[in-house]
Structure 1
Amino acid sequence: MPNKQYRLAARPVGLPKDSDWEFVTEPVRDIGEGEVLVKIYYASLDPAMRGWMNDGKSYIPPVQIGEVMRAGTVGEVIASNNPDFGAGDFVSGTLGIQQYGISTGRDLTKIDPDLSLIENYLGGLGMPGLTAYFGLLDVGAVKEGDTVLVSGAAGAVGSLVGQIARIKGARAVGIAGGSAKCAYVVDDLGFDACVDYKSETFLKDLKEPLKTGVDVYFDNVGGEILDIALARLNRHARVVICGAISQYNNTKPVRGPQNYMNLLVQHARMEGFVVFDYAKRYAEGVKELAEWHAEGKLKFKTHMEAGIENFPAILLKLFSGENFGKLVLKVRED
């Protein structure tokens, strides 16, 4: 069987360009003892992928030149020499941007296609959902009556953070780009308010929804928005550093927070986290997220784009803000 795949050809400088990728078709090899062959249906496209392309120390080793680009995936087991998996099982795992993946099974998790659409295991029931769940509940320690400010509020993680905040009895105020996204965040997802950072009146528009200050700020973008949030913290506020998409493609040094002294003034804390730290508790998170979804309390939005050949261009939608919800690549039509 031919296997189409994208490999990293060069370390990007700024936004990834076509020459940073190599599109390869090679035959699928026979699986060995203990291995599993997975037909990949969907791949997750996430801002973190940009960091994985850099050759530097991080929470996970970088993708090496010549390797298949790392990505979360869902698919179906079509052959197995592993007693834990059988043909017909649906699984999630980090198998990369390709049509078929081979695994020892250690990085695979069985998923239930009867519980939810399998693509949801890349979104609300996958890494974004678990990131929102543990980031807000454990790191952010949200409590009833808090005001939670979320940047990237229409994105895969931010959209869930605000909804979980509401489930827990907190106010949810979003920041998103454009009136359509803000309307979706309020009208469809139930946030208390959403402010358009692209508006000329952005700072003025923040005043009313944040008139009582910010108890939890869940940061997905970094840069100027982080500084604006830091200036509005309440006493003992919690700042959750999840991502900094505004800084990922910088060719100059990353912009650090200028208003960090307000952490001292307000006896607040700012903490970064990576969802992999909670791996032993994933089942707990998926169970509760699935229950909320089944009850209609938690909505998932998937932005689906088709064609593995189109991967480089589709990935860039993350950094232009074109995606609306969880960006997923449909790898195959069959």
Structure 2
Amino acid sequence: MSNAAAIPKTHRRVVLVRRPPGEPAETDFRVEEAPVPEPRHGEVLVKVHYLSLDPYQRGRMRDAASYAAPVGLNEVMAGGTVGEVVKSAHDGFKVGDIVEDRLGWQEYAIGSGATLRKVDPSIAPISTANGVLGMPGMTAYFGLLQVGQPKPGETVVVSAASGAVGQVVGQIAKLMGCRAVGIAGGAKKCAFVTDELGFDACIDYKAEKNLDAALQAACPNGIDVYFDNVGGAISDAVLRNLNFFARIALCGSISQYNATSAEMGPRLMGTFVGKRVTARGFIVFDFAQHYGPAMRQMGEWVRAGKVKYREDVVEGIDKAPRAFIGMLRGENFGKMLVKLA
């Protein structure tokens, strides 16, 4: 474990220097050197081991009203982290503790006791605190179980099925006795989703000429729950194949995050009336008071091998902007992380 003597004087961090109108470019970010900060009373200094790259961060680059404040220009890019306490001025945390918090794209950061979560490294590798045993895992858990409310025997469809959230959604659907159908881009991702994760089927949207026909073949009994991570044309096809009283968990729309103008699509809400469809948008923090039991359940499933996960890891903080841009294009395979330590 680290000690105070090994703490450097300066560290590297990534700041936002421009708000991209469309797809971000590496020049929208700057990697800079800054002094390593000193923890004050009630704070700790964290040496970051992993940075989490997530689609929601694209929204934080906009100067627009949302559920979270935008990142300021020349401020550290927002993001989840997991790391090690190397200096503590907080009674609840000691040097060597592994902690998770949203401390941003930087090698060292100050954490305050209010939001820091201790991570038990004996359950799973600590990187999972930014993935299956962190925000993406909780998003999958509550989005499917609370919003989607699947019942045994029903068919659950999830888009971006090999991603950080989607890979967990389908596995929980299987644990609930459902038919799990994924949608992903490319034969490799689809093979992983069916062969490794145990989904019943996976549709390669890049190869399919007719998504409706592919969905009908993969979902012979129609679709009861749709966990939507992508929006756009893929979601249009799923919505056309919903059953009566279907539920939609609206988690994200990554297909549109870099769009410079609104995409015109079919007006499908009319079909919701006759089919009595429920669609609900949600943010994972809506369920924060229930994290404890959910995290324990996810930990048990991961330990027992009932929930598997895949991570896509790049090394070095200077690689974060490029990896982030690639993730928004769907180039990542699994939960996207940057390894720092």
Q: Per the shorter chain, which TM-score range?
A: over 0.9
Measured in 2, the distance between the counterparts of 1:125 and 1:33 equals: 29
Instruction: Provide, for residues 229-251 of structure 1, a one-character-per-residue CA deviation record: whole Å limited to 9, x for no partner.
Output: 11111111001100000000001
Indicate yes or no: 2:304 matched with 1:300.
no
After superposing the two structures, state which structure 1 stretch, 296-305 or 14-23, moved more: 14-23
- 8 Å contact kept, 1:247–1:255: no
- 1:222-237 mapped onto 2 (5 Å cutoff): 222-237=231-246
Indicate yes or no: 2:126 matched with 1:118.
yes
Q: Which residue of 2 aligns with 1:58?
A: 66
CA-CA distance at 1:215 after TM superposition: 0.3
Indicate yes or no: 2:113 matched with 1:68.
no
Unaligned runs of 5+ in 2: 1-8
CA-CA distance at 1:106 after TM superposition: 1.5
- 1:141-152 mapped onto 2 (5 Å cutoff): 141-152=149-160
Indicate yes or no: 2:19 matched with 1:36.
no
CA-CA distance at 1:206 after TM superposition: 2.1
Q: Which residue of 2 aligns with 1:91?
A: 99
Indicate yes or no: 2:327 matched with 1:318.
yes
Identity in percent: 48
Measured in 2, the distance between the counterparts of 1:197 and 1:182 equals: 10
AA aligned to 2:73 is I
After superposing the two structures, state which structure 1 stretch, 198-207 or 152-161, moved more: 198-207
Measured in 2, the distance between the counterparts of 1:97 and 1:185 equals: 30
The DSSP-based 3-state class of the residue aligned with 2:258 is coil
Of 174, 185, 192 in structure 2, the residue corresponding to residue 166 of structure 1 is 174
Measured in 2, the distance between the counterparts of 1:49 and 1:198 equals: 25
Unaligned runs of 5+ in 1: none
The DSSP-based 3-state class of the residue aligned with 1:271 is strand
- 8 Å contact kept, 1:153–1:174: yes
Of 98, 115, 118 in structure 2, the residue corresponding to residue 107 of structure 1 is 115
- 8 Å contact kept, 1:238–1:270: yes
- 8 Å contact kept, 2:37–2:45: no
Measured in 1, the distance between the counterparts of 2:98 and 2:302 equals: 20
Of 267, 270, 295 in structure 2, the residue corresponding to residue 258 of structure 1 is 267
The DSSP-based 3-state class of the residue aligned with 1:159 is helix
Instruction: Provide, for residues 134-157 of structure 1, a one-character-per-residue CA deviation record: whole Å limited to 9, x for no partner.
Output: 000000011111100110011110
- 8 Å contact kept, 2:88–2:94: yes
Instruction: Provide, for residues 112-149 of structure 1, a one-character-per-residue CA deviation record: whole Å limited to 9, x for no partner.
Output: 01111000111110111000000000000111111001
CA-CA distance at 1:19 after TM superposition: 2.4
Indicate yes or no: 2:173 matched with 1:181.
no
TM-score (norm 1): 0.97
TM-score (norm 2): 0.95
